Amino acid sequence: MSLATRPPRPATRPDRLPRSAAADRGHEIRLGLAGVAGLVLLVAGIPAALVIFVGYPLPRSAPSHDWLTQTITATLIIKILACVVWLVWAHFAVCLISEWRALRRGRLPRTVPLGGGSQLLARRLVAAALLLGGAATATFPHGGGHVAAPPAAVASQHAGGTVAGVPAWQGVSPADQLAAAAHDAGGEADTPAAAHKYYVVRPPHGRRYDSLWDIAERTLKDPLRYKEIFALNKDRVQSDGSKLVDANLIRPGWELRLPADASGPGVRELQPNVPAPHQDAAATPSAADQAPVEQVPLLPAQADAAPVTHSAASVPSLATARPASATPDTSLESITLGGGLMLAGLLVALTARRGPYAPAGADEQALALSADAGLAATLDRALRLLAAARADQGRALPQPVVAWASPEQVTLNLAGGDTAEPPAPWQSAAEGWSWTCRLAELPEHPRLAETSAPFPGLLSVGRHETYEVFVDFEQAPGLVSLCGDVERGRELATALAVQAATSVWSDGARVSVVGFGDGADVARIQPRAITETAHLADLLDELEQEHEAVQRLQRQLGVDGVLTGRQARRDQAWRPHVLVLSGPPTPDETRRLQLLVGSGRSNVIVLVVGDTAGARWRFTLDASGGLDLGILGASAQAHRLPRAGAARLAELAASAEAGRRAESGAVAALTPQQAAAREEALRAVPPVPSGPATVAVQLLGPVSVTAPGPIDPAKRELATEIVVAIAVQPDGLHDAVLRASIWPRGVSDDVSAAALADVAAWLGTDPSGRPALIDDGGRWRLGDCVRVDLDELRRLAATATGPDELAALQQAIALFHGEAFSATPAERYRWLAFARSAREANVVGTAVTRRAAALLADQQRTADAEEVLRRGLQLTPTAEPLWRDLLALAGRRGPEPAAAVAADLYRTLREHRAWPEPETDALVAQLAPGSAAAQTA
């Protein structure tokens, strides 16, 4: 059954498509009217009905003994029931007042005792009434004279995917465009567009949280105008992938559009693009001057497709595609358009480029707030578990085409119905055409680390409602065309190129971008994985040779494709080669490419910006970034990486690489005392604790906390993160900093207080009864009964001198139990990448290890020295000063031991997405000449 006749879809995915702006507003008005009607019915209708049909509820005379002795009648029972209804109504009224007051104050509502369903109903009715206000604001202009322009006017004034010159946002709806352009609609056609104003929601400060009410009061001098801000931002997808759907719930870091008259602290202006100067008619090419349209004959495999025409001029090169009116946007917002999953891979790549010693910059911290590291890591685990389980069953992997992922589940839509029972927790639906896995039910697997990533060509092309939409491009039966708006196609192609090179659910992919002009910015982001070529002809021979090598490997292993090959043996040969073309290839190039990708699943993927006759899959983009996946039967808001975003990422990558080389050289020259002293200038070495230890915090390996008190297993991860965040700050961690680190998107006082109470109970007290968790005037710190292995490492490094130096250093090395600060959940510890302690463990650990190895080598204890260096590499696997010392010691025994160390070195760096420094490559070439490792270098 073909995809065209049976488009795969997840069983749980909503079938409806996004509605138009008018339909959205009409739907909101209907919901709002229903909410108001419900409020009137419950607040006034129920009391009126009770009074009319049962009677006045309060007694008209003083109670007497006769009340207790009167006969029980049906009337009496009805009155008793009426009293119960009155009590329920009064409780509901309290819930309603609580919700309404919270709305007016812009705060999260307090939980009403025994609220339950009553408070939930009150919340929904108030929210529905708010929808009526928000919809009315968008439909009926404010008294200030703003008039909404019709969609046709917006389209004519803001062509090219921009609203008043502002690049289209991911997830921007027609209603957003309508609201954003409202202040321009009544002017002349040639009136310069005004600047758009924005406000970034602040993180919580103490007990105070930003709210639309407060923002409107500060920026518009009228808190009641919060409805205008709500209308301008409703349903806009923010950088974290969520939307504003309730005026009472906004998150720190969200960027909110403001009315044109907004002013005050926090208000930012984004200037529109300057209109291009008028061109002389003689300078504009006429139709006769355009390149002729060429009819490309279809290949036999495409006989069922309609003829497609193209010309060399139909898809301009990237260097010339930028409009004259374009103003480069170098803000981080242009990067976040690529989606949270692309950012998760980018952060891994930047961390590898930065190395274990250099600090992360503020830009990386900002990107980390938008990255979806949790979903990326969970998706990787789910796919590898599927591959491992199918291998255990002796069955081939399924053939996904489209996938849908949310924080709750992953659904694979398969190219053919697979009637075999999928391994748990995967479940089959739609007669085997769809496999779904609940992510919370993922089991453990003993060989997960050795399992190849099964679907490295699975890339997220965009977002549909709450789902990330993926396409497995290896499954494409030919070239893939990104049709429609050319600039949006280039931005999607660039985002896919970066994602393919950095995604965490892949063992790596090679990416070649062809003919992009200034596409060198893309190549500089990950130069070992992404290369830029001017002409496709320069690359085709190499592609064909790679494809033939893969075919030979398949024959040697007796497998029938790349999927079964990955199951049979983990090998770099199976990694996909993603080819991204800036325009359609020539007919001869199309024929040669079709031979590589047209005969079933291939390790070669060809993406073409613009329509081409060689395409079997055609994805269409509109000017706002809307993506239609054509025959695959799905749509999404496309992920995009504009040129400005690629340039900014290239700068970040270059800065990270420079920091790595500088810090690596500096650390290689440090003694243990110097390493401890370098950190001591910022934070004193903690004194030796005086009392016995009752709590142990391990940071020099997998993060763990051992404490005597009880802890709910469901709360242990959060409690551990809180303890670690405090442990790395011996001088105390301010409550506001703690909350911003653990809950970067905001948290209520009740939640944070409850979490800290759980931690205090878990850590308990010392033998004298003093608590292990101390609130020291708004700063949290740990008591003397808490032992932190990182503090012990720093103390030993600072005092390791004299005759007992080696013993002290070996005692310090005995604290190493694995990679520092490892085994942390991907969705937590985002603050750790920007904490000094993680780098401090690497710096001091490297200095201690190198000094101990040098002392042992001086005593001719070479084997012990090598063992110490390997123990240090457990703590910091990418510490190249340690690897070079280990290479030098192995080189004393000959080229073969050095080659074995070099192989371990390159494998470890590859697993951590890092590349060797030039000094390391040079040492390998010197000590192990002619080895496979040296050739790789």
User: Which of the two residues, 898 and 144, has the higher pLDDT score?
Assistant: 898
- Neighbouring C-beta atoms of residue 677, cutoff 10 Å: 14
DSSP count for the chain of H helices, then E strands: 32, 27
Q: From CA 181, how far away is CA 105, in angstroms rounded? A: 29
Half-sphere exposure at residue 887, Cβ-oriented, CA atoms within 13 angstroms: 25
**Strand-pair category, 309-310 with 294-295:** antiparallel
Average pLDDT score, the chain:
76
Q: Read off the tokens for 612.
A: 């081409």
Paired residues of 539 in beta bridges = none
Residue 311 predicted with pLDDT over 70 = no
Q: From CA 745, how far away is CA 205, in angstroms rounded? A: 12
- Neighbouring C-beta atoms of residue 728, cutoff 10 Å: 23
Does the global pTM surpass 0.75?
no
Mean pLDDT within 678-697: 65
Q: From CA 249, how far away is CA 573, in angstroms rounded? A: 49
Q: What share of the chain is helix, strand, coil (3-state, %, to 5)?
A: 50, 15, 40
Paired residues of 234 in beta bridges = 244
Residue type, position 925, single letter: A
Q: From CA 500, how far away is CA 345, in angstroms rounded? A: 9
CB within 8 Å of 807: residues ≥ 6 apart: none
Residue 873 predicted with pLDDT over 70 = yes
Q: From CA 346, how far away is CA 332, in angstroms rounded? A: 13
Q: Read off the tokens for 165.
A: 């010159």
Q: Is 119 buried (19+), middle (13-18) or exposed (0-12) by CB count in 10 A?
A: buried
Residue 848 predicted with pLDDT over 90 = yes
User: Which of the two residues, 564 and 188, has the higher pLDDT score?
Assistant: 564
Mean pLDDT within 458-481: 92
856-867 pLDDT, tens digit per residue, is 999 999 999 999
CB 107, CB 250: distance < 8 Å: no
DSSP state of 182: G
Q: What are phi and psi of 252, to 5 degrees?
A: -60, 140
DSSP state of 572: G
Confidence of residue 272 (pLDDT cuts 50, 70, 90): very low
Q: Tell me what percent of the residues of the chain surpass a pLDDT of 70.
A: 74
The whole-number pLDDT of residue 135 equals: 37
Mean pLDDT within 736-764: 89
Q: From CA 597, how far away is CA 880, in angstroms rounded? A: 40
310 sits in which H/E element: strand 309-310
18-64 pLDDT, tens digit per residue, is 333 344 456 556 766 777 787 788 778 778 877 777 776 666 566 66
Q: Which of 862, 857, 865, 870 is nearest to 905 (CA)?
A: 870
Crossing angle of helices 362-370/340-354, nearest 10°?
150
Q: What are phi and psi of 131, to 5 degrees?
A: -60, -40
How many residues are present in the chain?
937
CB within 8 Å of 175: residues ≥ 6 apart: 21, 24, 25, 138, 234, 235
The whole-number pLDDT of residue 846 equals: 94
The whole-number pLDDT of residue 808 equals: 93
Q: Tell me what percent of the residues of the chain surpass a pLDDT of 90.
A: 27
Paired residues of 484 in beta bridges = 621
Half-sphere exposure at residue 245, Cβ-oriented, CA atoms within 13 angstroms: 7
- Give DSSP secondary structure letters for 37-79: HHHHIIIIIHHHHHHHHT--SS-SS---THHHHSPP-HHHHHH
